[in-house]
Structure 1
């Protein structure tokens, strides 16, 4: 078990090592006028920024081992949008945007990407592409080149601009995924979930379940309305939530039926805490737990929900979408799992500790664009 002063040769890079990678040129801006800013550096990740142009394309794609992203854009492009003054990305359309960041990774250095929490809570599907890439969101060892975001607004049309941050990047050396035995020891010493949740289910990660108990009125979440106004992703606490959402209440059996292709915001029963020297990722939809996707945004930073930072555990918000058939969801049903990874050293900034984190004490909380 590591402590807050131990350093490792493998693991996820913390904030101070991300800055070192920037200084060494492993992370750089593709635009000299818009260098990487300290505000992009999170405890265990780097926020990625949209560049100056969005390409509307006919279909999603993967470049493949022998192809660049630009060559696929040339083949599939319908038109392009100038983002420097802001532009609307329409619901149901697919766009590819060159990002301002580029990479020059060293040997044994890998990276993974994920949408930011506020992006997922708007039902905006964002995946990162690289030249010669055969997978989304996976940046190969030693990759040198540009990064691109594929963006598909699923429910709401959104307004973005050059510099908007929809995705985040984690850098790692080696593959330091924690074992189940290590997670059990972590829970005993730190408490990965609150005592009210009971003993955690640890199997290939930390299982989490959905809360459909609700309060006196049975309120358990939100369902997105259709045909809504455009949402500007860079306007926090601006929109009245009931213009875009309707309340969801569980039935007397503490259950609900997901309607195919509707989008829901629900919450986990477990209040989660992430130790300061670990980071976690919520794994994607698993066919073993049902015909629905349980999240878009999956990164949990060190310090999230930690009692020593004033949170006493924080519930995970679940971005849920059913596929093709109605699906019965019941209170306490396991819907996913968190996989923990050790950091190379404890970061010099932590989630919620004066860095503008929006969800440290969240309950059932919508994206930052909506007024509380």
Structure 2
């Protein structure tokens, strides 16, 4: 097995032990996944006037000392982050990356499926969700709830980080298409209900889905995406990620359609594999319509999966650890029942 590639759980544990990852508290149960580490919110967040990147010459703290920060939100006892607002939360984890190791971040699946736009910022950052080799500093989560206001607490995990050793060496990429033939009870997807109420991120399986989501049907296997609306759909193809590889859902070419087809994009080794109990797993698609109404048809290409090698197989594959989305079909976030 090549030494280059995505670092597995055994190596991620070693990153904590060696000080590459430091945190205010020891790793929590389930925080280290087969090919990623969940990132925990610190005790405060800041309401911002707008999103930003610090650029090469500034730290995030220096940017906040300008007029970007409107007020401070205490997360220690829980706080509501409202739709249409932009927040920045220092994360508990910090990085001190050695030569040859880079970091990539992404929203967790459960975050993307509730339409919370989340990305990570670093000091001197010129791009979101990236930390270059040699980066030594804090991490911050930018959080913008788009449809549902959310109740968050210190320690909640909205983002995750992957570590790559060596250069980015894709193995292959595949295009997945949308399934509008109907799942259980003929439902092809869900559209988020606006003004539906609050999603408490500490309560798993406690929110009645019908209050937040409208089921969708497509008797003619066509669905019209309305501009600005948020949808949960699923791929027609079953997706399999071998234990020697990882994948990320990447933006599809803009000429294919007037929509964005993902927020959270990491697929761990073992997802969808028979040996990890994932036979038939689909990719769930978080879709937002853009400028004009757009007709989506059954089997239409909607997203792209980019595969790359693991540096070595994980100690436990996805599905052999606590996982909410193994063997999934059309599935809402874990917060709903």
TM-score by length of structure 2 reads 0.97
TM-superposed CA distance for 1:176, in Å, is 4.1
- Point out the more displaced range, 51-60 or 71-80: 71-80
Work out whether 1:368 is the aligned partner of 2:329: no
Q: What's 1:192 paired with?
A: none
TM-superposed CA distance for 1:341, in Å, is 1.0
Work out whether 1:327 is the aligned partner of 2:294: yes
- Rounded to whole Å, the distance in 2 between the matches of 1:233 and 1:365 is 17
Q: Is residue 286–residue 293 contact of structure 1 (8 Å, CA) maintained in 2?
A: no
Q: Is residue 227–residue 291 contact of structure 2 (8 Å, CA) maintained in 1?
A: yes
Q: What's 1:35 paired with?
A: 26
Q: Matched residue of 1:95: which SS?
A: strand
TM-superposed CA distance for 1:39, in Å, is 2.0
Matches within 5 A, 1:351-366: 351-353=318-320, 355-366=321-332
- Rounded to whole Å, the distance in 1 between the matches of 2:255 and 2:186 is 28
Work out whether 1:20 is the aligned partner of 2:11: no
Work out whether 1:95 is the aligned partner of 2:87: yes
Q: Matched residue of 1:35: which SS?
A: coil
Work out whether 1:284 is the aligned partner of 2:231: no
Q: Is residue 171–residue 309 contact of structure 2 (8 Å, CA) maintained in 1?
A: no
Q: Matched residue of 1:67: which SS?
A: coil
- Rounded to whole Å, the distance in 2 between the matches of 1:156 and 1:79 is 21
TM-superposed CA distance for 1:365, in Å, is 0.5
Q: What's 2:307 paired with?
A: 340
RMSD (CA atoms)? 1.2
Question: For the structure 1 residues 235 and 217, does the alpha-carbon distance in structure 2 shift closer, same or farther, using more than 3 Å as the test?
Answer: closer
Question: For the structure 1 residues 216 and 126, does the alpha-carbon distance in structure 2 shift closer, same or farther, using more than 3 Å as the test?
Answer: closer
Work out whether 1:50 is the aligned partner of 2:17: no
Q: Size of the alignment, in residue pairs?
A: 336
TM-superposed CA distance for 1:297, in Å, is 0.5
Matches within 5 A, 1:195-234: 205-215=173-183, 218-234=186-202
Matches within 5 A, 1:44-193: 44-75=35-66, 76-180=68-172
Which runs of 5 or more structure 2 residues have no equivalent in the other structure? Answer: none
TM-score by length of structure 1 reads 0.88
Q: What's 1:184 paired with?
A: none
Q: What's 2:4 paired with?
A: 10
TM-superposed CA distance for 1:284, in Å, is 2.5
